[in-house]
């Protein structure tokens, strides 16, 4: 079988960014949003009772508009990712954002209208057969409405946001584009690296000396512009805190937790499990340092590849990768395998390795056509195969909820990473099993450790930093020197003071601190990863796990995460036990890594 390395976007909107079909879509969405607003203005719960035909129409229309925005948004993002130089993408993104703001104004209003509906009437509405499946989501909207201010003020905040929080967030991208890192290439010739290139080399270059030299150059590049980044971060956070305050919210974690439908207790338990169980990862980092001929690993070594003699990496063609994923998905779930095959056959994936593409990988769903699109750059490494399996896991999640009402598809970020991590784990383990030498096995387990090291140590540091930064920002503007100190201390604490070098400017170099929506773009990753590991552990113990797994995924936007885990896995997320099952799987990998590398370190010491 030969699969295309390029995706098909024409089946979504034909003709690229200037697509006439897309223009029509925009016009349609604008008209529909206006008419939705009118419908809402005229709506009266009492006279709509007992069958609520007007409200049902309203909710259907709102979901159709949001699905349409999702469809257009995916297309615009896709065109932009595949061609970063395309100057016509940004104006279209801005148009879409203006439209989204208009929809948000209407849906904010709807939330407030729901607050005015008496409890008894609201219960009667939820009992309607077509509203029953979205009862949880409507209740959530009504609760949300209780926090909202008057229409005029909410509208003003939404409008100001376009030049406020959301503007600071895009300003960050403009700033990063100006960062360059003067350095030298492998042969010692002077070169200028972009922030993205430098980041890739700092973490991924196979030569430890190159990485060690790059780190100070990298830090200097951010130091030169630290005041600009500090301004951006302070104002973005300041806007957010003022917005919270206006809504009577003092605790800056309240909204992020609510968006992820999880309790503060669950988060506390996760961090406790992480902090109590990180020693084996620090041991792993020490071992990795020893293999690199060092006593302690530096910041730049944490995610680095290990190129041991004889660890010839297996190289996959795209078709081989597809076959590998389909085969190993199939061992867990024939339905996952079928979806992956469908995605390859129907050209949902952009994987070509060429210039002009955005870095990274993502999956977005096309809600109107019940499809997905996956973006990545495939170079043939086992890591790329895992990434592809990760994104296909996301696509599988979307596919099993595609028939549900659009509101029921709005799963939060923490559970969003469940299916993806699950898909990735299956394929990463299969990669390790397929290794033909110990050296190859060591290098694959090492690559697999990127995730737990990121979750337990790096993201832990980012969370500690962000929490302390917001505490300070509530009182004052935070200076670059203070930001550096907060970050350095957070990294030392999270990494158990075990590293020889750190990256105090991570607060400037890490995009995640500058994302306007959602806030605290860190702990949901850790939740998702550990949640998925727990499910993976369960899947290995339980035969015929497929139906149970799909039932869980279908409920991901239908209840709190605590209820989700209780209902489908019979576990209590506020207690450590479930999370520890996942930790046990990582410990198993580290133990294998230690066993395999023991002789290498011993022989090095003996010499």
Residue closer to Zn ion by CB (options 420, 491) is: 420
Total residues contacting Zn ion by CB under 5 A comes to 1
For Zn ion, which is the closer residue by CB, 232 or 414?
A: 414
The DSSP string of 113-148 is: HHHHS-HHHHHHHHTSTTTGGGHHHHHHHHHHHHH-
Instruction: Output 420 or 484, the one with its CB closest to Zn ion.
Output: 420
Distance CA 557, CA 531 (A): 15
Which of residues 420 and 458 has its CB atom nearest to Zn ion in the complex? 420
Shortest Å, Cβ 573 to Zn ion: 20
Contacts of 134 (CB under 8 A, 6+ apart): 59, 405, 407, 408
Reference 503, options 490, 512, 520; nearest CA is 490
Query: In the bound complex, what is the minimum distance in angstroms from residue 558's beta carbon to Zn ion?
Result: 21
Task: Indicate the residue among 201 and 420 with the shorter CB distance to Zn ion.
Answer: 420
Query: Contacts with Zn ion in 239-258 (CB under 5 A)?
Result: none
* Angle, vertex CA 137, rays to CA 131 and CA 143, nearest 5: 120
CB of 200 to Zn ion, least distance (A): 19
Question: Using an 8 Å Cβ cutoff, are 105 and 155 in contact?
Answer: yes
Mark residues 391-420: x for contact with Zn ion by CB under 5 A, - for none: -----------------------------x
Per the CB < 8 A criterion, the answer to whether 114 and 61 are in contact is no
| x-marked contacts with Zn ion along 314-353 as a string, rule CB under 5 A | ----------------------------------------
* 570 contacts 551 by C-beta, under 8 angstroms: no
Report the residue number, 226 or 391, with the smaller CB distance to Zn ion: 391
- Binding string to Zn ion for residues 417 to 436, with x set by CB under 5 A, is what? ---x----------------
Least distance from C-beta 388 to Zn ion, angstroms? 12
User: Quick check: bond before 518 cis, omega within 30?
Assistant: yes
**Binding track over 63-102 against Zn ion, x by CB under 5 A:** ----------------------------------------
Beta bridge mates, 183: 191
- Give least dist CB 400 to Zn ion, A: 16
Write down the least CB distance from residue 283 to Zn ion, Å.
Answer: 28
Cα–Cα nearest to 65, from 22, 33, 37, 20: 33
Find the shortest distance in angstroms from Cβ 382 to Zn ion.
Answer: 18
Sign of CA dihedral 433, 435, 436, 438: negative
Give the nearer residue to Zn ion in terms of CB position, either 391 or 555: 391
Choice between 351 and 486, CB closer to Zn ion:
351
Q: Quick one: 166 or 420, whose CB is closer to Zn ion?
A: 420
Omega of the bond prior to 50 within 30 degrees of 0, cis? Answer: yes
Shortest Cβ distance from residue 416 to Zn ion (Å)? 7
Both structure tokens of 469? 């930064």
Q: How far is the CB of 93 from Zn ion (least distance, A)?
A: 21
Indicate the residue whose CB is closest to Zn ion.
420
Sort strands 371-375 and 349-350 into parallel, antiparallel or unpaired: parallel
Q: What ranges in 247-363 are assigned the alpha helix state H?
A: 254-259, 264-276, 279-291, 318-332, 334-345
The HSE-up count of residue 78 (CA atoms within 13 Å, CB side) is 29
Q: Evaluate whether 451 touches 389 at the Cβ level (below 8 Å).
A: no
Q: Is 59 or 385 the residue whose CB approaches Zn ion more closely?
A: 385
Q: How far is the CB of 432 from Zn ion (least distance, A)?
A: 21
Task: Name the residues that contact Zn ion, by CB under 5 A.
Answer: 420
């Amino acid at each position: 079988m030969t699969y295309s390395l390029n995706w098909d976007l024409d089946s979504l909107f034909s003709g690229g960014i200037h697509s006439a079909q897309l223009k029509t879509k925009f016009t349609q969405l604008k008209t529909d949003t206006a008419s939705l607003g009118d419908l809402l203005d005229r709506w009266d719960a009492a006279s709509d009772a007992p069958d609520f035909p007007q409200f049902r129409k309203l909710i259907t229309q709102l979901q159709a508009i949001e699905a349409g925005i999702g469809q257009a948004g995916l297309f615009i993002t896709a065109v932009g990712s595949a061609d970063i130089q395309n100057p016509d993408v940004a104006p279209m993104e801005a148009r879409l954002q203006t439209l989204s703001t208009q929809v948000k104004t209407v849906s904010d209003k709807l939330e407030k209208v729901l607050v005015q509906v008496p409890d008894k009437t609201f219960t009667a509405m939820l009992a309607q057969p077509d509203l029953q499946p979205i009862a949880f989501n409507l209740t959530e909207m009504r609760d949300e409405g209780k926090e909202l201010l008057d229409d005029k003020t909410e509208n003003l905040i939404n409008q100001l946001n376009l030049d406020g929080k959301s503007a600071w967030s895009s300003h960050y991208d403009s700033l990063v584009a100006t960062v360059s890192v003067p350095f030298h290439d492998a042969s010692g010739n002077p070169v200028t690296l972009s922030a993205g290139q430098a980041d890739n080399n700092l973490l991924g270059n196979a030569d430890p000396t190159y990485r060690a030299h790059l780190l100070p150059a990298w830090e200097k590049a951010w130091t030169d512009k630290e005041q600009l980044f500090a301004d951006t971060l302070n104002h973005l956070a300041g806007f957010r805190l003022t917005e919270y305050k206006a809504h009577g919210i003092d605790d800056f974690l309240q909204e992020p937790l609510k968006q992820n439908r999880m309790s503060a207790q669950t988060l506390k338990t996760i961090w406790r499990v992480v902090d109590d169980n990180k020693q084996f990862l620090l041991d792993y980092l020490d071992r990795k340092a020893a293999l690199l001929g060092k006593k302690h690993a530096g910041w730049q070594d944490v995610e680095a590849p290990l190129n041991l003699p004889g660890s010839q990496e297996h190289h996959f063609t795209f078709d081989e990768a597809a076959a590998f994923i389909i085969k190993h998905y199939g061992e867990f779930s024939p339905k996952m395998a079928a979806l992956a095959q469908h995605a390859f056959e129907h050209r949902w994936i952009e994987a070509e390795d060429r210039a002009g593409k955005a870095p990274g990988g993502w999956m977005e769903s096309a809600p109107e056509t019940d499809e997905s699109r996956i973006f990545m750059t495939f170079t043939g490494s086992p890591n790329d195969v895992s990434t592809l399996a990760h994104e296909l896991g996301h696509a599988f999640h979307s596919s099993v909820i595609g028939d549900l009402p659009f509101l029921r598809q709005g799963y939060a970020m923490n559970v969003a990473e469940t299916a993806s991590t699950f898909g990735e784990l299956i394929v990463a383990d299969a990669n390790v099993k397929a290794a033909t030498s110990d050296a190859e096995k060591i290098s694959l387990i090492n690559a697999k450790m990127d995730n737990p090291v990121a979750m337990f140590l790096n993201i832990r540091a980012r969370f500690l930093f962000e929490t302390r930064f917001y505490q300070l920002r509530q009182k004052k503007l935070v200076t670059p020197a203070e930001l550096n100190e907060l970050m350095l201390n957070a990294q030392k604490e999270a990494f158990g003071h075990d590293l020889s070098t750190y990256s105090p400017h991570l607060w400037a170099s890490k995009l995640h601190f500058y994302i306007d929506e959602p806030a605290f773009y860190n702990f949901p990753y850790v939740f998702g990863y550990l949640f998925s590991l727990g499910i993976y552990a369960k899947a290995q113990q339980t035969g015929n796990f497929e139906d149970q797994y799909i039932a869980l995924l279908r409920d991901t936007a239908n209840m709190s995460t605590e209820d989700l885990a209780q209902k489908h896995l019979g576990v209590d997320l506020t207690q450590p036990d479930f999370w520890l099952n996942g930790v046990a799987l990582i410990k198993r990998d580290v133990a294998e890594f230690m066993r395999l590398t023991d002789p290498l370190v011993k022989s090095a010491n003996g010499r």
